[in-house]
Chains A and B, each alone.
Chain A
């Protein structure tokens, strides 16, 4: 309940948007889309509606005679996974993928954001939904902040449009580092995992060392990337198939990674078995603050339903506990902020971050206050780590 009051204030306050910047991006993207369009038409030898899967399918599979991978009810499939497999066949495919990505950015994000900006204040007033997710995580609408793309550089740039509402203020973002992995280490009480965090090691490097049996200085970036993928996959109950897709390796290799991982972290394996057993017995799973999620499919005769329920049983306590922690942190931060004389406002909660705007003179104080409140909000077997940064826009606060 206290959280809903905090969220109410955040929503009412809103976030300042640099509308000029956004419109600039819009025009810029528009130009780029036109250019790519031209290039595509040239390669295709004709102009067509790239956004029509029907027309696109004809061009790709009839005109250019690319191999057909999948068919749909009405024609050829031109979905992303199909196109990704055809990338090496023709350079047009890459351009089409790029075109689509930018097109989505343009319509959903840039134009979408421009639509919800308040006419007078030029602020965006998102709405946080506290009762939607099954894990306890917050979600947001109008706009949905969770899925503003950050992997694509053009997507990240959208964050440049989020600015402080007052002069002499900056944006500060405080992010929990690997909160879900830390929660996993705590709940599973795995020795190696817990030590790694306690000793302040880089967890992905550590995992790479354990899974590939190498020393720290032998871990290269590819290994670390693979280890990172396994780390995140484990939290979501990933299968060998899922991991193989995500890393572009064979299913067998992926299975071996997962096996090696579970061997290296027996506590994690034990946790996964225990939580599924407990879910079958009780019919639900819990987070550290005893938020419940019922899993009726856990005893389903249908293999798929049951598997999904098992993965959910493994993941919900982790994601849900992370959600609990972030929510409590928000309450603690606001309590302390209100007691202090720091000039700052909490603006947004996205993924594992809290985003503020703060007066330039109070940056250090806020930094200390927030880091402290967030890291101390609960006591786990491992330390919680918060990294905070600031800048003139959300993009720069990284």
Chain B
């Protein structure tokens, strides 16, 4: 039994997360997002992203997300105005709490709340138990209120502006960064007060003064025991006049580490999750980019069917007066002498596959290609233009190039071809070229229908991704895009 405990001890890592604080930060850090049903999801997305990272990086043996139970806490009995003056939680955020709990359930992560107590208190209590059992603990929060819980085995991580950016505080770092020891943090806050929680503190005492006083006297009590030794008339005056406030503030900021919680560390055992459940939820909330991080079962690709017209003679009716997505398929990298396998045209009138001979022999098609009216959207203008030039056609009227835009958005996405772009944006509508044509020596052109559908599907993803790529490349307010 002893051996087992020793084993467990060395592997046990407990993660405690302040749900309210992190969700709050995520909400303000990310742009407003909502899913198809209109449910807002940005805070949940940010939180989930961070949570997945923690599960991947830290591989905890135990994990808990603590939430505030309601507006009233035991602290309000001490001070009615506690947290007064705070703005009401925006409904776009409050509607995300139940969603977050749903996701936590699917991920197998326990969450807990206790009436009259704050998330801080729950975390403080569990971490105290962990400390007594010498278990390594990581606490995550969006603000510094939990720093007082740091200790030899307990590290507190505070998220920065971008939720996944986390500053980790161990006792040494706290001493370095704040100038006081962990035991002094409570007294520090008691003196300074806290505007956001509406804790009075002592007026005229800011961080600097408070640090100085604590370095001089050690504790709040000691300051008052030796009040005559305090230098500065105004300072002494304020301290004396607001002694009650100071001690009340101390009470308010002290985290209750003996809260009557009904859970124990053993209850927080982390056993992983059922991938299917998680993926279902991710789909529901539109978290496509997170799906790839869920280990486990292979997601069977469900695709929409695609019906297209196999063109035998190109008609000008096919051309839309709105955007036309034009795809030229050529396997060879060297487009100076590659074979064109076919074209596809996708627009609000339909989906068209145009065989190469039909296209290149059609005067109408050629006229459209050379028309300066800016309504063609392509992937890789240069490739298309050069290939057509070698065939005596002078391409004009290209309005947007998806490949170039993808490069502007992020040059390090290693591939800027349509299937890769589609994958980046969470679309499954088109396969990679390798899957359709094979690789290297085994490469060959598949039969007509498979080929035609693949080329049309490229047009489909071009159409689907355009709005997002367009928006993203503009968001950067980059002038590089006009080159």
Of B334, B401, B407, B410, which contacts A294 at CB under 8 A? B410
Q: Which residue of B lies closest to A8 (CB)?
A: B385
User: Interface digits, B461-483 against A, CB 8 Å rule (1 contact, 0 not)?
Assistant: 00000000000000011111111
With A8-B386, A324-B483 in contact, do A130 and B407 touch (Cβ < 8 Å)?
Answer: yes
Given A294-B410, A324-B480; A8-B416 close (CB under 8 Å) = no
Please give me the residue from chain B that is nearest to A287 by CB atom: B480
- Distance in Å: Cβ of B416 to nearest Cβ of chain A: 5
Establish whether residues B476 and A292, one from each chain, have CB atoms under 8 Å apart when the complex forms. Answer: yes
Q: Which of A230-252 contact B (CB under 8 A)?
A: none
Q: Choose one: B389, B406, B482; the contact of A8 (CB below 8 Å).
A: B389
B410 and A292 contacting across the interface, CB-CB below 8 Å: yes
The answer to the question of B89 belonging to the interface, with a C-beta cut-off of 8 Å to chain A, is: no
Please give, as numbers and ranges, the residues of chain B lying within 8 Å of A118 by CB-CB distance.
336
Question: Which residue of A125, A131, A294, A327 is within 8 Å of B483 (Cβ)?
Answer: A327
Asked if A4 is an interface residue, CB under 8 A from chain B, the answer is: yes
A137 to B335, CA, bound (A): 21
B74 sits at the interface (CB 8 A): no
Report which of B336, B416, B477, B478 forms a contact with A125, defined as CB distance below 8 A.
B336
Instruction: Give B380-410 as 1s and 0s: 1 = Cβ < 8 Å from A's Cβ atoms.
Output: 0110011001100000001011011011101
CA separation between A8 and B385, bound complex, in Å?
A: 7
A289–B390 alpha-carbon span in the complex (Å): 34
Does any Cβ of A come within 8 Å of B411's Cβ? yes
Please give, as numbers and ranges, the residues of chain B lying within 8 Å of A128 by CB-CB distance: 382
Which residues 162-179 of B have a CB within 8 angstroms of A?
162, 165
Alpha-carbon gap, A88 to B158, bound state (A):
59
- CA distance in complex: A291, B408 (Å): 7
Q: Is the CB of B407 within 8 A of A12?
A: no
Is A136 in contact with B336, judged by CB distance below 8 angstroms? no
Q: Give CA–CA (A11, B382) in the complex, Å.
A: 9
Q: How far is the CA of A290 from the CA of B480 in the complex (A)?
A: 6
Which of B336, B381, B478 touches A5 (beta carbons < 8 Å)? B381
Partner of B334 from A5, A127, A283, A290 at Cβ < 8 Å: A127
In the docked arrangement, what's the CA distance between A331 and B481, Å?
Answer: 13
Residue in chain A with minimal CB distance to B390: A12
With A8-B389, A130-B404 given, is the CB distance from A283 to B382 under 8 Å?
no
CB neighbours of B400 from chain A (8 A): 1
A55 interfacial contact with B, CB 8 Å: no
- Which residue of chain B has its CB nearest to the CB of A127? B334
Q: Which of A7, A141, A293 contacts B412 (CB 8 A)?
A: A293
- A69 CB within 8 Å of chain B: no
- The proximity string for A residues 263-298 relative to B, scoring 1 for CB distances below 8 Å and 0 otherwise, is 000000000000000000001000101111110000
- A–B pairs, 11, beta carbons within 8 Å: A1-B481, A4-B385, A128-B382, A131-B403, A141-B333, A142-B334, A289-B480, A290-B478, A292-B408, A294-B412, A324-B483
